[in-house]
Copies of this chain bind each other. A is one copy, B any other.
C-alpha cells in the first residue's frame, strides 16, 4: 500500500528528530498527513510501527563495495570511505537516536548494527587481500586497521556538526585523508598498482 509506506517514512522522520518517546502517534500521523487512527489500524501499536520503520530503513541501505582484488588502494579506499561517510551523515540523526535507545529497547534496534558489521567485514577482507598481495610493508591486524578507519569515519559523521573544529577541512576530503593515513600506517605505497619500484624512498605523498 502507498499509505503504509507514507506512514513508515513519516515515522522514521519523526523518530530521527525526537526519538522513541518523543515520537507520539499524533506527531507521526500529522507528519504523514493521516488520521491517527489509521496508524493503529495499520500497525496495531506505536512500537510495532516504529520497529517496522527501522527494519525497512536498514534493509534499504546499500553500501558501496570494495573489489575482491585491490588495484588502486588509495582510490578504492577513498571511494568506499566517501560513500560510507555520506551514508552515515545522511542518517546521523536517526543513528544517534537508535544508539540512545539501544539499552532500553534492544530488540527493536539491534538490526541497526547490521550495516557497520557488514562494512567492517568488507573492509577487513579488502585489507587482508592487500596484505596477501604483499603490498603492505608492516604487519597489522585487519580488524584493528578496519576499526581505525571506520571509527574515524563514524566519529566524523556523528560529531562534525557539534564540533567542526575537531575534524579536518573540508568535510568532503575527510574520507580521503583518513584513507591515506591508514594506508601509510600499513606501509602501502600509493602509486602504481603492482609495478611499484622497490627503491621507494618515501616520496612525499602529495595529492589533492
Interface residues of A (CB under 8 A from B): 17-19, 21-22, 93, 96-97, 99-104, 110, 113, 116-117, 120, 137-141, 143-148, 150-156, 158-159, 162-163, 165-169, 174, 177-178, 181-182, 184-187, 200-202, 204-206
Contact residue among B138, B151, B174 (Cβ-Cβ distance under 8 Å from A153): B151
Q: Chain B residue with minimal CB distance to A183?
A: B185
Do A141 and B116 touch (CB < 8 A)? Answer: no
Indicate which residue in B120, B137, B166, B200 contacts A147 across the interface (CB closer than 8 Å): B166
Contacts of A99 in B (CB 8 A): 96, 99-100, 158, 162
Majority-rule SS of A interface residues: helix
Contact B100–A159 (Cβ < 8 Å): no
**Complexed CA–CA distance, A5 and B77 (Å):** 50
Residues of B within 8 A of A167 (CB): 143, 147
Contact present for B22 and A22 (CB under 8 Å): no
Select which of B147, B177, B178, B186 is within 8 A of A156 by beta carbon: B147
Question: Known interface pairs A113-B163, A147-B156. Does A181 touch B177 (Cβ–Cβ under 8 Å)?
Answer: no
Could you tell me the distance in whole angstroms from the C-beta of A15 to the nearest C-beta in chain B? 11
A140 to B205, CA, bound (A): 10
> Given contacts A156-B147, A178-B148, A181-B145, are A102 and B162 in contact (CB under 8 A)?
yes
- Bound Cα distance from A141 to B138, whole angstroms: 22
Not counting A96-B99, A99-B162, A139-B204, a sample of 15 additional A-B residue pairs whose C-beta atoms are within 8 angstroms of each other reads A19-B21, A97-B100, A110-B162, A116-B163, A120-B163, A137-B202, A138-B184, A144-B177, A147-B166, A147-B167, A148-B178, A181-B185, A184-B184, A201-B201, A202-B202
